[in-house]
Each structure stands twice: as structure tokens, then as C-alpha cells.
Amino acid sequence: MRRIVLATSNAGKVREFRQLLETPDTGILSQAEFALPAIEETGLTFVENALLKARNAALHTGLPALADDSGLEVDALNGAPGIYSSRYAGPAATDTENIDKLLRALQSTPEEQRTARFHCLVVFIRHAGDPCPVICRGIWEGMILHEPRGDHGFGYDPVFYVRDAGCSSAQLEPALKNRVSHRGQALAQLKQELGALFGYY
């Protein structure tokens, strides 16, 4: 069986990656299964941060590595929280604290100006020194709700309204979120690339 390490400490991402990429031939191992040293996300873009995380995991496990750097871009906040989405309310912020800060920041923002989108940038490297990473991306458009709704997903899902579905992304069944989300799009593309380049899928 082929093994790939997923360079994330976010359990929500691990669940979604496994649903989309795991097959009888391909095992997705979470970096939690290894004692990996933490790295700082010092990049200024999703792609830089994803590469930093993937390299760190490949270096310390000797396995091919995948990483996801993602975030929420809110138009009324000039793109914030962006690459700082997981640490919006502070370095160790919980999802609830991040959501509370976001809702406070948008308190007086009217409906039509609450547009936002999730970005997901996924990278795959064969080894820590891989000079040619596979890079895939996805974007998911939505609006920021006034209060949280739903229990599925993670992060900002409870306040991210998906117009086509008429509900928040935390109210979508996980399989449906995976079909349409920023991460779902990036991983569908990644599967194709890994198939075409390396015969993985």
C-alpha cells in the first residue's frame, strides 16, 4: 500500500482528505501519528505556507507529503482573515472565538456586503527536496451569516452561507460539502494530477 503523510494538525481537514483521497491502495496518514516538530507558518501566501508544512512532514517522515493551506476571505474586511484564518482571534484561538470575532467585525455590515469565499491550496511533494510540487486550488463562494447554524464541518462552516444549498456549510452533509467545497475542488484536481503524473489513482 502506498502511504502519504498529511501535514496538518486540523482534525477537520484530516476527515475531509481521508474521505476524498483514501483508497485500498493509498493510505493517508495524519502527521499526528508521527512526532513532528511544529513549524511556523511564516509565508505571506497560502501556497508558501502549504509548502512549508508539506516539506516539514516529508523531511521528518521520509514519506511523500500533502498539505493544505486554506482560509476565508471576507470582502467587507478587505480580505481578512485570509491566511490568518485559524489564528484570527489569537495564536491559540478556537473556532468559536474566531467566529465570534468575525461576527463582531461584521456587526454593522448589511446583507449584500457580506460576500466571502473560502480558498484552499493543496500541495503534494514526493520528498522534502522535490523541486516540482503538484499544486491545486479551489474557491468556494458564499456569504457570512449573522449567527452560527449547523454542527458539521469545522472552522467557519457554521457562519458560511452556501446560496445554492440554502443553508450554512455546517448544515451540509459531509459528503455534499466534499463535492462542492474549496477543498473538494482542489482534491478532485489533485487526484487527476496524481493519476496522470504518477499513476496513483
Active site residues: 69
CA-based angle 3:28:197, to the nearest 5?
65
Question: Which one, 85 or 185, has the nearer CB to ligand ITT?
Answer: 85
Q: Which stretch binds ligand ITT (CB under 6 A): 4-12, 58-66, 103-111, 189-197?
A: 4-12
Regarding 148 and contact with ligand ITT (CB under 6 A), the answer is no
Closest to 188 in 3D by CA, of 140, 154, 137: 137
CA within 13 Å, CB half, 21: 35
Contact flags string 99-138 toward ligand ITT, x per CB under 6 A:
-------------------x--------------------
SS3 167: strand
CB-based contact 73:39 (threshold 8 Å): no
Query: Beta strands of the chain (E only): which ranges?
Result: 2-6, 26-30, 65-74, 115-125, 134-144, 160-162, 167-168
Report in angstroms how near the CB of residue 23 gets to ligand ITT at its nearest.
Answer: 22
The interface region with ligand ITT, picked from 109-117, 122-130, 149-157, 193-201 by CB under 6 A, is: 149-157
Q: Which residues bind ligand ITT (CB under 6 A)?
A: 8-10, 13, 41, 53, 68-72, 85-86, 98, 118, 153-157, 181, 183
